[in-house]
Amino acid sequence: MTFGYRYRKQIIISVIGILLLLGVGATFIFYDRGEEVTEEEEEPVIEKVEKKKEEEEEYSVDIKGEVKAPGIYTMPKNARVIDVINKAGGLTENADTTVINLSKKIKDEMVIIIYSREEVASFEETREKEKYLQEKCLQKDENSLKNDACISDTQTGSTKININTATLNELMTLSGIGEAKAKDIINYRETVGPFQTIEDIKKVSGIGDSLFAQIKENITV
C-alpha cells in the first residue's frame, strides 16, 4: 500500500475543510464590504434630503419703494425685513424707515414698501391734522354745547401707541419719553427684536418701574 493511497482519505478531508474555511471567510468579507458600501451610499442620500428640505424653507417677498433694487426676492424662512432690504441693495438716500419695523420676520408673499422722507412727513402731518380736528370737535362751542357725534379717542382706539411700530414722534408723545429714550426704544426693537409684552419696554436702558407706571396705560404691542 503506497503512501498516497494510505493517506488519500485524510488528504481529501483536509482539502474539503480548507475549501469550507475559505468559503466562510469570503462570505464574511463580502458581507462586511456590503455594509460599508451601503453606509457610504446612504450618507449622500441623507445630505440630499436635508438640502432639499432647507431649499423648500424659503419665502418669496416683494419689496418696493426706496431701495436700490426693488423686486421679488427669495429669502430664508427666518429672514427679517432688514435682510430683504440688504438683499435689494440697501436703502436709497431718500428712504425713511421710522414707520417700518426692520426686525419683523418675513412671511411668504409679503409686500414691503419703503417710504420716502416726503411720504413719512405727509403721514405725520395727516395724523396731526386729524388729532387737531378731533380735539376741536370735542370742545364745547360758545353756547356750551357738546357735539356727541364727534369721533373720540376711545372710539377709534388711537389712545394707545404700539411700541413695535410707533414712529419717533409718536413715542415722544408718551409721558416721560423724550427724543433720546424714543430713539433707544426704536434701536432696541430693531436690534434685539420686537417687544412681546408692554413690560418688555423696561428692558430698554433708562426705562424703569416708575416711568413704566406712567406710560403703561398708553402703550400696546
Q: What percent of the chain stands above pLDDT 70?
A: 62
Contacts of 61 (CB under 8 A, 6+ apart): 72, 73, 74, 75, 79, 84, 106, 108, 109, 110, 111, 112
pLDDT digits (tens, 9 = 90+) for 114-126: 989 888 888 767 7
Q: Which of 30-44, 73-87, 207-221 is the least confident region?
A: 30-44
- CB burial string 89-128: b at 16+ within 10 A, e below: eebeeebbbbbbbebbebeeebebebbeeeebeeeeeeee
- Compute the distance between CA of residue 101 and CA of residue 61 in angstroms, rounded to an integer: 15
Q: What is the mean pLDDT of residues 171-177?
A: 85
Label residue 156 by pLDDT band (50, 70, 90). very low
Higher pLDDT, 23 or 183: 183
Instruction: With a cut of 50, say whether residue 154 has pLDDT above it.
Output: no
The pLDDT assigned to 124 comes to 67
Confidence of residue 53 (pLDDT cuts 50, 70, 90): low
pLDDT at 87: 95
| Residue 209: predicted pLDDT | 87
Q: Which of 3-17, 52-66, 78-92, 120-134 has the highest mean pLDDT?
A: 78-92
Number of other residues whose CB lies within 10 A of the CB of residue 28:
9
Q: What is the mean pLDDT of residues 191-216?
A: 89
Q: CA torsion angle for 29, 32, 33, 38 (degrees, to 10)?
A: 160
Q: What Cα–Cα distance (Å) separates residue 131 from each residue in 25, 169, 216? A: 92, 14, 21
Q: 23-37, 61-75, 82-96: which has the minimum mean pLDDT?
A: 23-37
Taking 80 as the threshold, does the pLDDT of residue 3 lie above it?
Answer: no
DSSP strands (E only) in 160-210: 161-162
Predicted confidence at residue 100, as pLDDT, reads 82
State the sign of the Cα–Cα–Cα–Cα dihedral 201, 169, 125, 113.
negative
Three-state DSSP class for residue 34: helix
Alpha carbon 128 to chain centroid distance?
33
Nearest in space to 207 (alpha carbons), one of 160, 166, 169, 174: 174
